Chain A
Amino acid sequence: MTLVGAALAALATTWVLYGQVLPFSGTVGFVVAAYVVFMLFYAGLTALTRPWAVVVDRLMTTIVVAAPAIVGLALADMILTTVLKGLEVLVHPNFYTHDMSGVRPTDPYDMGGILHAIVGTLIEVAISVSIALPLGVIAAVYMSEVGGRGARVVRTVVEAMTALPSIVAGLFIYSVLIIRLHMQPSGLAASLALAVMGLPIMARASDVVLRVVPGGLREASYALGAGRWQTVWRVVLPTARPGLATALILGIARMVGETSPLLLTSGATNFMNTNPLHNPMTSLPLYVFTAVKSGEPTFETRGYAAATVLLFLVLILFLLARFVAKQRSPR
């Protein structure tokens, strides 16, 4: 009752003050002002009948509820605007089946597409994951299951390198492979940059998951006469499987969306290129970036459509992670 009354009073007062009396304008200002006025009314009305502690409690509750509401609205707004802006391109099936070769940025939307970028992203991420994932998981096994002084050193260094900004990983690969070794900008260079960035992240995430496997399970396994390898393979890894899968898929999702290392290493192209060893290979985030930087309105819209596809790719990975995490290990 108090809540509704305060809300109504706040809206009315703000409307009068804001639009009619004070020389302000703009939606942001209106919402902020309405919120402040609402808090005042709510506090005042509560204070009429309740003790001070309740007033404070209710005020804090409005703040605590407002924070996730703002974030939720922002997230929904972001997804909606991106999808809506890209919609006029997304409805053309050629957007998914063509590349941009021979298509000018100003051409209509029924020409050209982002197949080359989708394929590029998939190839680059596949290569980098096939490098970073096994190395990361095995390094995590070393850190948490084998132990010893060496493992502590590895853990320290890996934890330190999770701080490596992705652009620096890209710059590293750029200056070593492309400048020193005279490699072309290519899909492989981009994959290596992603792998270098993702390896510490994956090793760290797997290590955290393996460490919470209960020690009692390991001891039980040893007590039954199992060796180190059998314990890791038959007990530790199956127990940690759902958590491990979730951590790794989230790591992959982060690699899919990473742009800055690709900017330095892969080179941009309009053509379909399925060979990671030769010639530049573009990818979805890079396509979005070039499209937006071009300043050409129609090309920008294509960028939004590509961003939508990228969002869906990440969403699919995320749902996959949820699905895997839900499954229990077989025994």
Chain B
Amino acid sequence: MAAEPTQALAVVPEPGRATPPNTVRPLADRLEGGVAPVPRRIVARHSRQDRVFLEGVRAVGLLVLVIVGSIGLFLGLQAKPTLSHYGWRFFTESRWLPSQDIIGIRAVLVGTVEVAACALVIAFPLAFFTALFITDWAPARLRAALIRAVDLMAAVPSIVFGLWVLFYIQPHAAEIAHWLSKYFGWIPIFKVHTDVDYPIWNQSPGYAAYAGSAFIASIAVAAMVFPMATSVMREVFGEAPAGEKEAALALGATRWAMVRTVVIPFGRSGVIGGTMLALGRALGETISVLLIINQAFQVKVNVLESGTSTISALIATNYAEATPAQLSALLTCGFVLFCMTLLVNTVAAQVVKRSRSGQGTEL
């Protein structure tokens, strides 16, 4: 019942402008019904210049909305015929044999998640500790330079990372993979289907079992997403209240104890959010993965073993020979990938937002 009178008295503000304070009455006053205070009407008279400006900007904003929204819409519409043709098999089939009308993304889906997850396993500790180093360990003069270096790293093209990993890191990474598979091969994800005790394992043909694996591709992806994760974490760590930090130190805490009790709890949502933003980027990474992996369409949990594929690599290799139906299937892959990154990014944005105090800065 109480809702009705409030409804009747609702102040209708101009869109976008705040209602002036004098129209806001105490709640009790409004609920008592009877007298309806007349809200002050606000009329905005824009000059012609302002009207042109507002309409122009609105038009461009809507244009951007149309352009950008049409991509999502297009992908969604293109996905429909494929999904209705293959149904759930599209998600459960792991082979990609367009000539036999067998198309499924299970293998690439698993591969995409594996590469991104491995990349995070590598990038997360590095980003986390680097962010802590920048905010709490580095001397003030070094801090600005480090922040700049991280920003610069964010601008390095992914193909350069791909090259570097392919030719210079792969031998060392294969060494690690060999060691892990030799001593921890009994854990399924570290198993490599080859003779791990083969003495000259790092020469062909044994080496082929370790090269081009999801693990090695994920090193390049980790290098790609590290700067993003670091800068988000660094920002929230930097916002930790100085008073509490000083209080912890004054109570006799060591630097690590201060960081553990004040900085990390304060920045927790930033840590989660930054990691998820990095995950979103890692899922879509194409060119360095394409350069490194040996493409194979099979679901495998052993990340150290050669041969995997990701959605983006699948698109990049198959687009050229695709018939219209296959192109629609590839677009569906793209749509699935987009949905994954969108979900991850949205959750990340929500988490990061919670850590920030206000939207704007007041003077």
Mark A residues whose CB is within 8 Å of B: 26-29, 53-54, 56-57, 60-61, 63-68, 70-72, 74-75, 77-78, 81-82, 85, 135-136, 138-139, 141-143, 145-151, 153-154, 157-169, 171-172, 174-176, 179, 196, 199-200, 203, 211-217, 227-230, 232, 250, 253-254, 256-260, 263-264, 285, 288-289, 292-293, 303-304, 307, 310-311, 314-315, 317-318, 322
Which A-B residue pairs are the 8 nearest by beta carbons? A257-B157, A165-B284, A216-B363, A142-B61, A67-B129, A57-B254, A214-B363, A229-B53
A56 to chain B, nearest CB (A): 6
27 cross-chain CB contacts under 8 A: A29-B179, A64-B132, A71-B130, A77-B168, A81-B164, A85-B167, A138-B61, A143-B61, A149-B15, A164-B71, A165-B338, A167-B286, A167-B316, A168-B315, A196-B67, A211-B359, A214-B362, A215-B362, A229-B50, A250-B154, A250-B155, A257-B156, A259-B287, A260-B316, A303-B163, A307-B160, A314-B156
**Inter-chain contact B75/A172, CB cutoff 8 Å:** yes
**Inter-chain contact B16/A146, CB cutoff 8 Å:** yes
B210 at the interface (CB under 8 A from A): no
Given A142-B58, A172-B75, A154-B65 contact (CB < 8 Å):
yes
**Inter-chain contact B159/A53, CB cutoff 8 Å:** no
**Inter-chain contact B286/A228, CB cutoff 8 Å:** no
Looking across the interface, which residue of chain B has its beta carbon closest to that of A144? B360
B153 at the interface (CB under 8 A from A): yes
Contact pick for A161, options B15, B72, B134, B286, CB 8 Å? B72
CA distance A85 to B160 in the complex (A): 12
**Inter-chain contact B155/A253, CB cutoff 8 Å:** yes
B184 at the interface (CB under 8 A from A): no
B24 at the interface (CB under 8 A from A): no
Looking across the interface, which residue of chain A has its beta carbon closest to that of B172? A28
**Inter-chain contact B74/A160, CB cutoff 8 Å:** no
Contact pick for B286, options A75, A165, A230, A311, CB 8 Å? A165
Interface residues of B in 35-54 (CB under 8 A from A): 46-47, 49-50, 52-54
Looking across the interface, which residue of chain B has its beta carbon closest to that of A258? B157
Contacts of B331 in A (CB 8 A): 171-172, 175
**Inter-chain contact B68/A161, CB cutoff 8 Å:** yes
B303 at the interface (CB under 8 A from A): no
Contacts of B161 in A (CB 8 A): 78
B121 at the interface (CB under 8 A from A): no
Contacts of B324 in A (CB 8 A): 179
B186 at the interface (CB under 8 A from A): no
B66 to chain A, nearest CB (A): 10
Contacts of B215 in A (CB 8 A): none
Q: Which of B97-105, B267-275, B339-347 contacts A (4 or more CB under 8 A)?
A: B339-347
CA distance A289 to B161 in the complex (A): 12
Contacts of A171 in B (CB 8 A): 315, 319, 330-331, 334
Given contacts A159-B349, A314-B157, 18 further A-B contacts (CB under 8 A): A26-B175, A65-B133, A67-B133, A70-B126, A78-B164, A138-B60, A146-B54, A160-B345, A164-B284, A167-B334, A167-B337, A168-B315, A199-B68, A228-B53, A229-B49, A250-B154, A260-B316, A289-B291
Contact pick for A67, options B75, B126, B283, B316, CB 8 Å? B126
**Inter-chain contact A163/B71, CB cutoff 8 Å:** no
**Inter-chain contact A157/B361, CB cutoff 8 Å:** no
B9 at the interface (CB under 8 A from A): no
B57 at the interface (CB under 8 A from A): yes
Contact pick for A142, options B57, B134, B257, B360, CB 8 Å? B57
**Inter-chain contact A174/B319, CB cutoff 8 Å:** yes
CA distance A305 to B158 in the complex (A): 16
- Of listed A67, A138, A163, residue having the most chain B CB within 10 A: A163
Contacts of B153 in A (CB 8 A): 71, 75
**Inter-chain contact A227/B151, CB cutoff 8 Å:** no
**Inter-chain contact B337/A165, CB cutoff 8 Å:** yes
Contacts of B15 in A (CB 8 A): 147-149
Looking across the interface, which residue of chain A has its beta carbon closest to that of B127? A67
Looking across the interface, which residue of chain A has its beta carbon closest to that of B334? A168
Contact pick for B68, options A26, A67, A150, A200, CB 8 Å? A200
- Of listed B49, B287, B319, residue having the most chain A CB within 10 A: B287
Looking across the interface, which residue of chain B has its beta carbon closest to that of A173? B71
CA distance A57 to B257 in the complex (A): 7
**Inter-chain contact B46/A228, CB cutoff 8 Å:** yes
